Structure 1
Amino acid sequence: MKKVRVLLYLEVAEQLRKDIFSGKYPVGSMLPTENELEELFKVSKITIRKAIELLATDEYVEKKSGRGTTVLSNRPYNRLSRAESFTQVLINSDHTIRKEILDLKVVDLAKDDYLYPIFGKQVVCFERLYYLDETPYIYFCHYLPIKMAEIKEAAFLEESLYRLLMQKDFIISDFSDDFTAIALSKKEQLILQTTETIGMKRIRRSKSAAGDMIEYSEAIYNTNQHPYRITYEV
């Protein structure tokens, strides 16, 4: 019984997140009352309260006694809203950023492939290159659920990857980043147009509230051109 209850409140919280991201509940608006949400989702009051508590912990909503629940944010990765993205750090430093799609394709995976346990037989591979002041700087390779193959390439160029994932009902609850120094391969040197032999590799694993992997991505940075930096608001 306990497992079912946990799954229910996670499902309710994820659906409410989707509704916030879609604009059904805009920033500044009020969520329906607990009684209305009970009726809407056909669950108990405690399940609704747990779902709201989760959204409040992630700073998507604020609940005040006697006033209801207010939507605070519709941003992906909201718990990191106090830390600027690296791209925004560069823009704020008067650098120009340009993105270029290198490839977008469906890849068949063998059973012994390290991505097979995550995505199954097929995965969408999305490769792109970030230019810093018109010089290649970051080479990305994102691995995504096969459902993302339904999205046209032009959308990947125009829209945020995480907004596109939301459009296909993939809601990221948390992610982890691992960083390591690597020896650049000939391919990576060619793409980054550099003779540098050492770069920085970031592996990102993005998961849903249920713990399912949504995105596995690898990014190669030419840190000799510019160091990786994180700026926090305190």
Structure 2
Amino acid sequence: MKLSLKKGPLYMQVQEILKERIINGVYPKNTLIPSEPELKDEFDVSLITIRKAVEQLSLQGYVEKRSGIGTTVLDNHAVSKLSKGQRFSEYLISEGHDLKKASASLSIVHPEAGTELAKLFGDTCYCIERLYTLDEKPYIHFKHYISQSIKLPNEQEQLLNSLYEILFQQGVKFNRFKDEFGVEVPDERIAKILNVDLKPLLQRTRYSFDINERVVECSVAFYNTEINKYIVNFDV
């Protein structure tokens, strides 16, 4: 396979191709990817380039490289662990909680001129609204804002799937995420959905960046932390 420098650094191109193969099951979870010499010959690049690509996949949590064994696929989600931190949802499930996506809907919204959403997405954008329940109680309310240049499904069953998997299938390649936490009072409608009084709640705003450093998704989430606190575990 011949790569071109016109498309960016060679190691990033190799990384994205290998990542796509992992996500699409070409290299199944818990199996070995081809050896570095095999990948070097396939992509017609240096071993240094291959090693850098594999190193990036390892840092993102997709693979694990072991001396004398090879490189094993650990995760096959469109968005893997970008650090050693355990996902909050994984933590809740590991603690025996029942975390579910209870509902999802898609609409088109018109951000007010001059607002951050208008600066990110223009006059109109998609809004995917989702509700998570924890042990059958309303727990997290999400609003995901996404550019209309991306094709999205309109069926609730599909919208309940991983949003990042949906975006990946539309050609979005994620590079990084930025989370901002604060305490805000939700509007009356969201408070009613979460079955809480109109009071300050934990709010998380996430920005998802593609490999060109463009924001492809901005989400605003409110958490009913009276049910369960927001906890992040880090391995050392």
Deviation at 1:109, TM superposition (A): 5.3
Normalising by structure 2, report the TM-score: 0.79
Alignment map for 1:124-203 (pairs within 5 Å) = 124-146=126-148, 147-150=150-153, 152-157=155-160, 159-203=161-205
1:180-207, CA deviations, whole angstroms, 9 ceiling, x for partnerless residues?
0112322322222221411111011122
Conserved 8 A contact 1:77-1:173: no
Conserved 8 A contact 2:127-2:143: yes
Unaligned runs of 5+ in 1: none
Distance 2:61 2:90 in 1: 21
Distance 2:101 2:90 in 1: 14
Distance 1:102 1:231 in 2: 28
Distance 1:46 1:65 in 2: 17
* Segment of structure 1 superposing worse, 166-175 or 12-21: 166-175
* Alignment match of 2:91 (pick from 89, 92, 96): 89
State the identity as a percent: 36
Task: Classify the secondary structure of the residue corresponding to 1:88.
Answer: helix
* Segment of structure 1 superposing worse, 127-136 or 99-108: 99-108
Letter in 1 for 2:75: S
Letter in 1 for 2:156: E
Task: Classify the secondary structure of the residue corresponding to 1:173.
Answer: strand
Structure 1 or 2: more helix by fraction: 1
Unaligned runs of 5+ in 2: none
Conserved 8 A contact 2:184-2:202: yes
1:20-76, CA deviations, whole angstroms, 9 ceiling, x for partnerless residues?
111111234333344543454455554333322322333423446676544333243
Conserved 8 A contact 1:124-1:148: no
Normalising by structure 1, report the TM-score: 0.79
Pairwise CA RMSD of aligned residues? 3.1
Aligned twin of 1:13: 15
